[in-house]
Structure 1
Amino acid sequence: MTSNNDILFERAQRSTPGGVNSPVRAFRSVGGTPRFISRAAGPYFWDADDRRYIDYIGSWGPAIVGHAHPAVVKAVQEAAERGLSFGAPTEGEVLMAEELCRLVPSMEQVRLVSSGTEAAMSALRLARGVTGRDLVIKFEGCYHGHADSLLVKAGSGMLTFGNPTSAGVPEDFARHTMVLDYNDAQQLEETFARVGDRVACVIVEPVAGNMNLLPATPEFLQTMRDLCTKYGALLAFDEVMSGFRVALGGAQSLYGIAPDMTVLGKVIGGGLPVAAFGASAAVMKHLAPLGGVYQAGTLSGNPVAVAAGMTTLKLVQAPGFYEALSAQTARMAAGIGDAAREAGVPFCANSVGGMFGLYFTADVPRNYAEMMKCDKAAFNAFFHAMLDAGVYLAPSAFEAGFVSAQHDDAVIDATIDAARQAFATLR
């Protein structure tokens, strides 16, 4: 019997490049047919064949309170009844801005936008406008959206400028971006000694989620903070993934380091398109209409999306929410690690808050180069074994996973049992 997923995928490829509207949804790196999702509830979703999966992508992070949470759905319905979009200010935008600034004290003001890419791109433009400098430093393996100047990989040697990683990105754009190694504080110091007076901004994922889960070391982030302060550059934390995912105040609250700029997304939209970037009032005053740095968006602060995001932000502030989420995520990661050891499979796992990483290597990687040494073939086999068992992981060895508040003990136990059986097939 032909799967409805196969039928939809064949149709999709005729009208959409690669059959998907975002490359990460494709199964290119693992092989097979993407699952086309028809509905979701709590920790589960169902595909076009009505097969249920335990979901560990959670819309790539936003579904932190579980899919189709009744309070979020109700807020969206009520907002939609009042109108879908106005192109004019709303009270909801004010309330969200106030809430974000209260929960993330390093921000005094925020600008709402519609995607993480838009937020990161706008933050860097603002940093360049404020400092009057062009150079941006990013780190290999960190992803900050698909803006031209950020689709850059490391150059041919240490302390070098980047090269475009996408066709259509002019080399002239890439030359304003320098790519360094993640978690290498010494390299960062050497770079600032050479070009510190030209650096507008350093942008980093304090908990990286796009080269699997890779937390920054405290020394790395503190060195970054000290150097930016010394040389007059702005430090931007890209917390599109980690914001309200690893802790209520984001990764910056865990590390105790205040960036100059913060980029947020995913969770703050509760599943709908909301993102934001924020900083001190002294920095944000450079944005139009007050200053000369232009940024605009027709759907920025969309009332329906803001309703979903605000309701989600209220739910995650329930007493003990993050303690419970972190404990469940850690228990799952430890359980899968134990199952691998029982099977004699080289493997390790890690978690931070509601994010986790699975690595087919003996030790948790510290940077992009170490992550690339993981056994990709073993991951692919594990992915399909878990999928067959009804557990949906990210279809890539280089993506973090996400747990929701609805992943209860029974769901976690079922996941660990599935992993035990999957590892047995790899032995």
Structure 2
Amino acid sequence: MTTTSRNDQLFARAQRHIPGGVNSPVRAFRSVGGAPRFFVSGSGPRVTDADGKSYLDYVCSWGPLIAGHAHPEVLAAVSETAAKGLSFGAPTEMELDMADLLCDILPMLDMVRLVSSGTEATMSAIRLARGYTGRDLLVKFEGCYHGHSDSLLVKAGSGLLTFGNPDSAGVPADLAKHTLVLPYNDAAALEAAFAEHGDKIAVVIVEAVVGNMNLIAPKPEFLKAMRELCTKNGSVLIFDEVMTGFRVGPQGAQGLFGIDADLVTLGKVIGGGLPVGAFGGKREIMEKIAPLGPVYQAGTLSGNPVAVAAGLATLKLTRAPGFYETLSARTKRLTDGLVAAAKKHGVVFSAQSVGGMFGLYFAPECPATYDAVMACDKEAFNRFFHAMLDAGHYFAPSAFEAGFVSAAHTDADIDATIAAAEAVFAAW
């Protein structure tokens, strides 16, 4: 007699009234095959699914849970705030606390606006940059993801300097033509784009450390050229730090690489697991946003007190001495251990980490470009993913997503994952 798991039952039910059975596409396991796990609880570094199976979690809600699941200080802040009211649609002092803290930690932030998601933050920042410059053209990079607003769901054109084409049904071609898509980590391509279109480029937006085509680290000359070209041509540089903000270091990617953007978008960690986003930057740009200026942006739940409370409690935890040094060392322990385990058994594999983020690649070396990521062995990753899932280790269900370690993961947890991977590679 075949017994259907509770996860399978829930997924079958989900597909009746939810498109694809999920509320965000990557959750559907379509890239790796099989049915997604429905989680019912989380504590520290672990999650438990609907069948009662426990996993060491290396997704961490796609990054926000840098302190781990259900951290008692975060839960206490949420509980205390929720008891006073869930939402007011009016200012609260807690919003000021968040704005002051963000501007204190990130020196390039003069002003900041809270929103409800990373997508909303990047969409608003791009509109602001266009309004500030009076220009239309947006430059983004192949493989970088900045949310699902129309201007950003654009793929590369057929030539290096051709304009983009819609990457999703429902995105007008007339809108896509205002987006220029360039190869990531290619300073020469960026220089050529500015040489041809410099007086029309309103904004350049980039994931300084890419987390949405797996983890790709930037070449220093690439970011340096970007900053210099934007300054020279009067274009606004946006660092999308929705994923990297307070994940790769105490000042995000900007602090890590020593480059200030004109605007920065934030999310994930600043909400501690609840929906919060933010965008901010130079005062002269931010003063163009309504009600001070002509660029309109609004949101009923922006600065929601419960979400802000979770974010403030989480950020407070990250300010502890040695927090990022320990997190970075533990993440590197994971990637180094996985590489050593694969090498021991002759498996073609590489890995790298930046702060509390990591990338796994079934390739001889860590990729630096979109094309190199696409050349990785996707089927090998899928095989690894399911073997590790069966062993109780939950990685992102896609070969094209970064992974995350939390402060709740211990050395013993990391070593257990390495040991499980070695057993998988030994049977490879």
Q: Same fold (TM over 0.5)?
A: yes
* Cα shift readout 1:243-293 (whole Å, capped 9, x = no counterpart): 000001000001000000000000000000011000111111100001000
Paired with 1:151 and 1:200, the residues of 2 have a C-alpha distance of 18
Who is 1:383 aligned against?
Answer: 385
Unaligned runs of 5+ in 1: none
* Correspondence list, 1:70-219, <5 A: 70-219=72-221
Who is 2:52 aligned against?
Answer: 50
SS in 2 for 1:130: helix
Counterpart residue type for residue 383 of structure 1:
F
Counterpart residue type for residue 327 of structure 2:
L
- Please state if 1:283 is matched with 2:318: no
Counterpart residue type for residue 176 of structure 1:
H
2:274 corresponds to which of 272, 275, 278: 272
Counterpart residue type for residue 203 of structure 2:
C
* Cα shift readout 1:144-185 (whole Å, capped 9, x = no counterpart): 000001001111111111111100001111100000000000
Paired with 2:46 and 2:8, the residues of 1 have a C-alpha distance of 21
* Correspondence list, 1:24-39, <5 A: 24-39=26-41
Paired with 1:164 and 1:46, the residues of 2 have a C-alpha distance of 39
Who is 1:397 aligned against?
Answer: 399
* Correspondence list, 1:330-349, <5 A: 330-349=332-351
* Cα shift readout 1:299-322 (whole Å, capped 9, x = no counterpart): 000000000000001000000000
Counterpart residue type for residue 175 of structure 1:
K
* Cα shift readout 1:66-88 (whole Å, capped 9, x = no counterpart): 10000000000000000000000
TM-score (norm 1): 0.99
Instruction: Please report how far the alpha carbon of residue 424 of structure 1 lies from its aligned counterpart in structure 2 after TM superposition.
Output: 2.2
Instruction: Please report how far the alpha carbon of residue 425 of structure 1 lies from its aligned counterpart in structure 2 after TM superposition.
Output: 2.9
Who is 2:410 aligned against?
Answer: 408
* Correspondence list, 1:248-259, <5 A: 248-259=250-261
1:63 corresponds to which of 62, 65, 80: 65
* Cα shift readout 1:326-369 (whole Å, capped 9, x = no counterpart): 00000100000001101101110000000000000001101111
Counterpart residue type for residue 17 of structure 2:
S
Q: Structure 1 segments of 4 or more deviating over 3 A?
A: none
- Please state if 1:323 is matched with 2:325: yes
Paired with 1:204 and 1:223, the residues of 2 have a C-alpha distance of 13
Paired with 2:340 and 2:155, the residues of 1 have a C-alpha distance of 35
* Cα shift readout 1:375-427 (whole Å, capped 9, x = no counterpart): 0000000000000000000000000000000110110011001111111232x
2:6 corresponds to which of 4, 14, 20: 4
SS in 2 for 1:46: strand
Unaligned runs of 5+ in 2: none
Counterpart residue type for residue 305 of structure 1:
A
Paired with 2:294 and 2:77, the residues of 1 have a C-alpha distance of 36
Paired with 1:282 and 1:4, the residues of 2 have a C-alpha distance of 54
SS in 2 for 1:292: coil
Counterpart residue type for residue 181 of structure 2:
V
SS in 1 for 2:275: coil
Paired with 2:325 and 2:217, the residues of 1 have a C-alpha distance of 18
Who is 2:313 aligned against?
Answer: 311
Who is 1:19 aligned against?
Answer: 21
Paired with 1:295 and 1:117, the residues of 2 have a C-alpha distance of 13
1:239 corresponds to which of 238, 241, 244: 241
Paired with 2:423 and 2:294, the residues of 1 have a C-alpha distance of 59
SS in 2 for 1:214: coil
Pairs aligned (count): 426
SS in 2 for 1:406: coil
Paired with 2:423 and 2:310, the residues of 1 have a C-alpha distance of 38
Paired with 2:366 and 2:108, the residues of 1 have a C-alpha distance of 30
Paired with 2:240 and 2:181, the residues of 1 have a C-alpha distance of 15
Counterpart residue type for residue 347 of structure 1:
F
Paired with 1:319 and 1:102, the residues of 2 have a C-alpha distance of 17
Paired with 1:421 and 1:228, the residues of 2 have a C-alpha distance of 49
* Cα shift readout 1:219-247 (whole Å, capped 9, x = no counterpart): 10000000000000000000000000000
- Please state if 1:424 is matched with 2:401: no
Paired with 2:304 and 2:145, the residues of 1 have a C-alpha distance of 25
Instruction: Please report how far the alpha carbon of residue 186 of structure 1 lies from its aligned counterpart in structure 2 after TM superposition.
Output: 0.7
Instruction: Please report how far the alpha carbon of residue 127 of structure 1 lies from its aligned counterpart in structure 2 after TM superposition.
Output: 0.2
